[in-house]
A and B are shown apart, each in its own frame.
Chain A
Amino acid sequence: NAGVTQTPKFRILKIGQSMTLQCTQDMNHNYMYWYRQDPGMGLKLIYYSVGAGITDKGEVPNGYNVSRSTTEDFPLRLELAAPSQTSVYFCASRGLEQEPLHNEQFFGPGTRLTVL
Protein backbone atom coordinates (compact mmCIF):
# COMPACT_ATOMS: atom_id res chain seq x y z
CA ASN A 1 0.00 0.00 0.00
CA ALA A 2 1.99 2.98 -1.29
CA GLY A 3 -0.65 5.61 -0.42
CA VAL A 4 -0.43 8.73 -2.62
CA THR A 5 2.48 8.90 -5.03
CA GLN A 6 3.57 11.86 -7.13
CA THR A 7 5.99 12.18 -10.01
CA PRO A 8 8.30 13.87 -10.67
CA LYS A 9 9.80 15.00 -7.35
CA PHE A 10 11.54 17.99 -8.93
CA ARG A 11 11.23 19.76 -12.26
CA ILE A 12 12.59 22.93 -13.86
CA LEU A 13 10.56 24.38 -16.73
CA LYS A 14 11.17 27.24 -19.09
CA ILE A 15 8.49 29.89 -19.50
CA GLY A 16 5.86 28.70 -21.96
CA GLN A 17 6.63 25.00 -21.62
CA SER A 18 3.98 22.48 -20.67
CA MET A 19 4.06 19.53 -18.33
CA THR A 20 1.87 17.08 -16.44
CA LEU A 21 2.26 16.33 -12.76
CA GLN A 22 1.23 12.77 -12.04
CA CYS A 23 -0.68 11.63 -8.97
CA THR A 24 -1.77 8.10 -8.13
CA GLN A 25 -3.42 6.65 -5.04
CA ASP A 26 -3.96 2.98 -4.24
CA MET A 27 -6.47 3.38 -1.41
CA ASN A 28 -9.56 3.37 -3.66
CA HIS A 29 -10.38 6.89 -2.47
CA ASN A 30 -13.17 8.78 -4.19
CA TYR A 31 -11.90 12.25 -3.43
CA MET A 32 -8.68 13.68 -4.79
CA TYR A 33 -7.17 17.16 -4.58
CA TRP A 34 -4.36 19.29 -5.94
CA TYR A 35 -2.86 22.01 -3.76
CA ARG A 36 0.02 24.39 -4.28
CA GLN A 37 2.26 25.77 -1.56
CA ASP A 38 4.22 28.94 -2.19
CA PRO A 39 7.33 29.58 -0.04
CA GLY A 40 6.48 30.22 3.60
CA MET A 41 2.75 29.97 2.96
CA GLY A 42 -0.12 27.61 3.53
CA LEU A 43 -1.58 25.34 0.88
CA LYS A 44 -4.16 26.56 -1.63
CA LEU A 45 -6.57 24.33 -3.52
CA ILE A 46 -6.17 24.26 -7.30
CA TYR A 47 -8.64 21.56 -8.40
CA TYR A 48 -10.45 18.66 -6.85
CA SER A 49 -12.40 15.59 -7.89
CA VAL A 50 -15.20 13.73 -6.12
CA GLY A 51 -14.93 10.68 -8.34
CA ALA A 52 -13.90 9.42 -11.76
CA GLY A 53 -15.11 11.79 -14.46
CA ILE A 54 -15.98 14.62 -12.05
CA THR A 55 -13.68 17.57 -11.40
CA ASP A 56 -14.15 21.11 -10.17
CA LYS A 57 -12.15 24.26 -9.61
CA GLY A 58 -10.66 25.25 -6.31
CA GLU A 59 -9.35 28.60 -5.13
CA VAL A 60 -6.51 29.08 -7.67
CA PRO A 61 -7.31 27.15 -10.89
CA ASN A 62 -6.00 29.59 -13.50
CA GLY A 63 -3.22 28.13 -15.64
CA TYR A 64 -4.03 24.53 -14.77
CA ASN A 65 -6.20 21.69 -16.02
CA VAL A 66 -7.09 18.30 -14.60
CA SER A 67 -8.77 15.09 -15.62
CA ARG A 68 -9.96 12.04 -13.69
CA SER A 69 -10.48 9.08 -15.97
CA THR A 70 -9.86 6.48 -13.25
CA THR A 71 -10.31 6.33 -9.49
CA GLU A 72 -6.56 5.96 -9.00
CA ASP A 73 -5.13 8.78 -11.14
CA PHE A 74 -5.55 12.55 -11.01
CA PRO A 75 -2.99 14.31 -13.24
CA LEU A 76 -2.47 18.09 -13.17
CA ARG A 77 -1.59 19.80 -16.44
CA LEU A 78 0.28 23.09 -16.80
CA GLU A 79 -0.17 24.34 -20.37
CA LEU A 80 1.97 27.50 -20.56
CA ALA A 81 4.28 27.64 -17.58
CA ALA A 82 4.79 31.03 -15.95
CA PRO A 83 7.17 32.09 -13.15
CA SER A 84 4.13 32.59 -10.90
CA GLN A 85 3.60 28.82 -11.03
CA THR A 86 6.88 28.18 -9.23
CA SER A 87 5.68 26.30 -6.18
CA VAL A 88 5.46 22.95 -4.43
CA TYR A 89 2.48 20.93 -5.62
CA PHE A 90 0.76 18.43 -3.37
CA CYS A 91 -1.76 15.83 -4.36
CA ALA A 92 -4.07 14.42 -1.69
CA SER A 93 -6.89 11.92 -1.41
CA ARG A 94 -9.57 10.89 1.06
CA GLY A 95 -12.15 8.17 1.27
CA LEU A 96 -15.87 8.38 1.89
CA GLU A 97 -16.97 9.61 5.27
CA GLN A 98 -17.26 7.10 8.03
CA GLU A 99 -18.55 7.53 11.54
CA PRO A 100 -17.27 9.40 13.46
CA LEU A 101 -17.19 12.05 10.75
CA HIS A 102 -13.61 12.26 9.71
CA ASN A 103 -12.23 13.88 6.60
CA GLU A 104 -8.53 13.19 6.93
CA GLN A 105 -6.69 13.76 3.69
CA PHE A 106 -3.62 11.72 2.82
CA PHE A 107 -0.94 13.73 1.07
CA GLY A 108 1.65 12.76 -1.48
CA PRO A 109 5.30 13.79 -1.01
CA GLY A 110 4.98 16.82 -3.30
CA THR A 111 6.51 18.02 -6.56
CA ARG A 112 8.84 21.01 -6.45
CA LEU A 113 8.43 22.99 -9.66
CA THR A 114 10.57 25.93 -10.76
CA VAL A 115 9.69 28.00 -13.83
CA LEU A 116 12.53 30.12 -15.22
Chain B
Amino acid sequence: AQKITQTQPGMFVQEKEAVTLDCTYDTSDPSYGLFWYKQPSSGEMIFLIYQGSYDQQNATEGRYSLNFQKARKSANLVISASQLGDSAMYFCAMSHHGSSNTGKLIFGQGTTLQVKP
Protein backbone atom coordinates (compact mmCIF):
# COMPACT_ATOMS: atom_id res chain seq x y z
CA ALA B 1 0.00 0.00 0.00
CA GLN B 2 1.18 3.48 -0.77
CA LYS B 3 1.68 5.45 2.40
CA ILE B 4 3.53 8.44 3.84
CA THR B 5 4.45 8.46 7.53
CA GLN B 6 5.55 11.48 9.54
CA THR B 7 6.26 10.31 13.07
CA GLN B 8 6.91 13.70 14.69
CA PRO B 9 3.63 15.44 15.54
CA GLY B 10 5.50 18.45 16.92
CA MET B 11 9.03 19.79 16.89
CA PHE B 12 10.80 22.72 18.51
CA VAL B 13 13.95 24.38 17.23
CA GLN B 14 15.95 27.37 18.37
CA GLU B 15 16.16 30.27 15.95
CA LYS B 16 19.22 30.05 13.64
CA GLU B 17 19.67 26.34 14.28
CA ALA B 18 19.04 23.53 11.78
CA VAL B 19 16.16 21.08 12.11
CA THR B 20 15.29 17.79 10.41
CA LEU B 21 11.69 16.73 9.81
CA ASP B 22 11.26 13.02 9.21
CA CYS B 23 9.32 11.36 6.42
CA THR B 24 9.18 7.71 5.43
CA TYR B 25 7.22 6.32 2.54
CA ASP B 26 6.00 3.00 1.26
CA THR B 27 5.59 2.19 -2.40
CA SER B 28 6.31 -0.62 -4.82
CA ASP B 29 6.41 1.74 -7.80
CA PRO B 30 9.99 2.39 -8.98
CA SER B 31 9.11 5.83 -10.35
CA TYR B 32 7.75 8.41 -7.94
CA GLY B 33 8.24 11.90 -6.62
CA LEU B 34 8.46 13.24 -3.10
CA PHE B 35 7.34 16.70 -2.05
CA TRP B 36 7.41 18.90 0.98
CA TYR B 37 4.76 21.55 1.55
CA LYS B 38 4.56 24.20 4.27
CA GLN B 39 1.24 25.27 5.76
CA PRO B 40 1.48 28.38 7.95
CA SER B 41 -1.28 29.31 10.38
CA SER B 42 -2.96 31.30 7.60
CA GLY B 43 -3.75 27.97 5.96
CA GLU B 44 -2.30 28.12 2.47
CA MET B 45 -0.18 25.30 1.06
CA ILE B 46 3.29 26.41 -0.03
CA PHE B 47 5.48 24.13 -2.13
CA LEU B 48 9.03 23.86 -0.77
CA ILE B 49 11.02 21.15 -2.50
CA TYR B 50 10.79 18.12 -4.80
CA GLN B 51 12.83 14.93 -5.18
CA GLY B 52 12.38 12.42 -7.99
CA SER B 53 13.06 8.76 -7.30
CA TYR B 54 15.70 8.63 -10.03
CA ASP B 55 17.44 11.84 -9.05
CA GLN B 56 21.05 11.10 -8.20
CA GLN B 57 21.57 14.11 -5.98
CA ASN B 58 19.61 15.33 -3.01
CA ALA B 59 17.37 18.28 -3.84
CA THR B 60 18.15 21.71 -2.40
CA GLU B 61 16.17 24.96 -2.51
CA GLY B 62 17.75 27.78 -0.56
CA ARG B 63 17.62 26.87 3.15
CA TYR B 64 15.71 23.68 2.40
CA SER B 65 17.34 20.39 1.50
CA LEU B 66 15.94 16.93 1.18
CA ASN B 67 17.90 14.03 2.65
CA PHE B 68 16.80 11.26 0.30
CA GLN B 69 17.73 7.72 1.35
CA LYS B 70 16.08 5.48 -1.21
CA ALA B 71 17.01 2.14 0.35
CA ARG B 72 15.52 3.25 3.66
CA LYS B 73 12.54 4.86 1.90
CA SER B 74 13.05 8.10 3.73
CA ALA B 75 12.88 11.69 2.52
CA ASN B 76 13.67 13.95 5.43
CA LEU B 77 13.45 17.73 5.14
CA VAL B 78 16.34 19.72 6.54
CA ILE B 79 15.81 23.40 7.27
CA SER B 80 19.03 25.27 7.93
CA ALA B 81 19.31 28.50 9.93
CA SER B 82 15.72 28.40 11.20
CA GLN B 83 13.75 31.63 11.21
CA LEU B 84 10.67 32.60 13.20
CA GLY B 85 8.70 32.58 9.95
CA ASP B 86 9.44 28.87 9.58
CA SER B 87 6.93 28.09 12.33
CA ALA B 88 4.23 26.15 10.50
CA MET B 89 2.87 22.69 9.72
CA TYR B 90 5.00 20.73 7.26
CA PHE B 91 3.65 17.98 5.05
CA CYS B 92 5.51 15.29 3.17
CA ALA B 93 3.72 13.96 0.09
CA MET B 94 4.29 11.44 -2.69
CA SER B 95 3.06 11.01 -6.24
CA HIS B 96 3.59 8.17 -8.66
CA HIS B 97 4.94 8.56 -12.14
CA GLY B 98 4.67 5.91 -14.80
CA SER B 99 2.28 5.44 -17.72
CA SER B 100 -0.76 6.94 -15.98
CA ASN B 101 0.93 9.81 -14.24
CA THR B 102 -2.03 11.65 -12.82
CA GLY B 103 0.00 13.51 -10.22
CA LYS B 104 -2.27 12.50 -7.37
CA LEU B 105 -0.62 13.31 -4.05
CA ILE B 106 -0.64 11.15 -0.94
CA PHE B 107 0.06 13.21 2.17
CA GLY B 108 1.50 12.39 5.55
CA GLN B 109 -0.11 13.55 8.78
CA GLY B 110 2.16 16.55 9.09
CA THR B 111 4.68 17.89 11.60
CA THR B 112 4.15 21.14 13.47
CA LEU B 113 7.39 23.09 13.78
CA GLN B 114 7.80 25.89 16.29
CA VAL B 115 10.86 28.11 16.11
CA LYS B 116 11.88 29.64 19.44
CA PRO B 117 13.50 33.09 19.54
Q: Which of B52, B102, B103, B110 contacts A42 (CB 8 A)?
A: B110
Q: Which of A44, A103, A112 contacts B103 (CB 8 A)?
A: A103
Contact with B along A64-94 (1 / 0, CB 8 A): 0000000000000000000000001010101
Q: Are A109 and B44 in contact (CB under 8 A)?
A: yes
Task: Report how far A24 CA is from B108 CA in the complex, Å.
Answer: 26
Chain A interface size, as a band, is 20 to 34
Find chain B residues with CB under 8 A from A31 CB: 102-103
Closest Cβ neighbor of A101 among chain B residues: B52
B41 within 8 A of A: no
Residue numbers of A with Cβ under 8 A of B are 31, 33, 35, 40-45, 48, 50, 56, 58, 88, 90, 92, 94, 97, 100-107, 109-110, 112
What are 15 contact pairs spanning A and B, CB under 8 A? A35-B105, A35-B107, A42-B4, A43-B93, A43-B105, A58-B104, A88-B43, A94-B103, A101-B52, A102-B52, A103-B33, A103-B101, A105-B47, A105-B105, A110-B43
Residue numbers of B with Cβ under 8 A of A are 4, 33, 35, 37, 43-45, 47, 50, 52, 55, 91, 93, 95, 97, 101-110
